[in-house]
Amino acid sequence: PMEYPGNGLGDYRESAVSIRTVGGHVGVQLNYVSHEIVKGKPALPGLPSTFPGEEDCDTLILHLEDQTTGLTAELIYTTFEKVDVITRSVILKNTTEQPIYLTKVMSACLDLDCTDEKYDILTLHGSWGRERQMERRSLMHGKQSVGSVRGESSHQEHPFIALLSENATQDTGEVYGMHFVYSGNFLAQAELSQFDSIRMTMGIHPENFVWKLEQGESFAAPEVVMTYSSEGLSGMTHHYHDMYREHLIRGEYRDKKRPILINNWEATYFDFNEDKIVSMANTAKELGIELFVLDDGWFGNRNNDHQGLGDWFPNLDKLPHGIRGLSKRIHDLGLKFGLWFEPEMVNEDSNLYRNHPEWILKTPHRKSCHGRNQYILDFSNHEVVEYIAQAMMNVIDDSYISYIKWDMNRCMSEVYSSTHDVSSQGRVMHEYILGVYHLYDVLTTKYPDILFESCASGGARFDPGMLYYAPQCWTSD
């Protein structure tokens, strides 16, 4: 059994970390140096993570080192005794003068000696409109995994895995669960060895991932939430629900009843004007609805899904008094007002694209796939994120907005950033997610009273990372 297995040095099971040195060496093994136990729980830089509450949390930090390569690690474990959960993450650091290239960073590894037990594996598979269907099967020899390389946690798989004793039911039997607080590419895996030991690993998917660490630089891996239940699936479920309600979801809507809302999209699509929206809001008010949400089509030259995306200023042909005027009319009716954004995307037919074609993710000399006729903005570029943040704040500051529906209607492909050099392209997909988190952090900090709802063409980015910022998720239409 190993807590954080290395690569290329005699352990043929799945590694938790792999590297490449400037000399081409790939072997790495991190060994124990020291440890410390601290009260509370340190935050992870730039990442969503669980936080301590009124109960005491204790954090164990194991300090490890590979003396040959100069790579060090902090393995971070926090115990939430009241909700029966342990969280795990890792921070890697280069202490040498030469760069080290990280080619795989798992956030957690769990080795189990189960020679006298038979286990099943539980995952959550799906597709648009039918996400997160439970799939249970016997754990056989070899590796069984789920993952995503779509740049999102995805409709198809969920960043979760559980081992169940063969006789486990909803209310009886043993369950070991792992859940990833992350919204991008992931890999969750269970491996049954020739000696019937089990290794569970979870972390960022290593495909297309290369992270160059210069001397003194660190890499913080996202958090894994682990729990054990001796009371079947219900026990595990209750642990996760209690954990996320008390230690992940933030803001007033963590415990507050959500408003009843109506969204105009299916009623009007792009064909609306101010009076039509107000007429719908009047009827909604009569029916006891509390919040009116204006969906796609309110901005730029947005009359269909081929144009306007990225131009976050009101379409005055449809809304002559802008979002400010419309939101005030809705507000005066006694309703709250919400607004749709898709901040990570852009149409080619838009002012934003014409002014900054270099701001999209696109592989040179290759045709780009499209979803809903849109490109993905390069959120690994901080300048792009800051531009979008300011554009959104200009609208929010000028209006009466209580709710934001944050949409994201396509997964990632042809991922190449024109603002990164050749050696940095392996960072782009993770830095993109960090950019999304940064934008969420800016907006939720400035507008703590706004209810943010996450939508990714429905439920393609429903994961603990999103719940940290948006306590409500839109399911598939």
Catalytic residue annotation? 407, 477
Kindly state the helix (H) or strand (E) to which residue 242 belongs, with its residue range: helix 232-247
Q: Which two tokens stand for residue 406?
A: 């944050």
Q: Exposed/middle/buried for 276, CB within 10 Å: 0-12, 13-18, 19+?
A: middle
Q: Where are the beta strands (DSSP E) in 81-234?
A: 85-94, 100-113, 119-125, 133-138, 142-148, 160-165, 175-181, 186-192, 197-203, 211-213, 218-220, 223-229
Distance CA 94, CA 70 (A): 6
Distance CA 75, CA 46 (A): 18
Distance CA 408, CA 302 (A): 17
Degrees, nearest 5: CA angle 295-336-282: 80
Upper half-sphere CA count for residue 264 (Cβ side, 13 Å) = 27
Residue corresponding to tokens 């754990």: 139
Measured CA distances, 28 to 36, 167, 293 (Å): 23, 39, 53
Kindly state the helix (H) or strand (E) to which residue 354 belongs, with its residue range: helix 351-355
Reduced 3-state DSSP string for 35-102:
EEEEECCCCCCCCCCCCCCCCCCEEEEEEEEECCCCEEEEEEEEEECCCCEEEEEEEEEECCCCCEEE
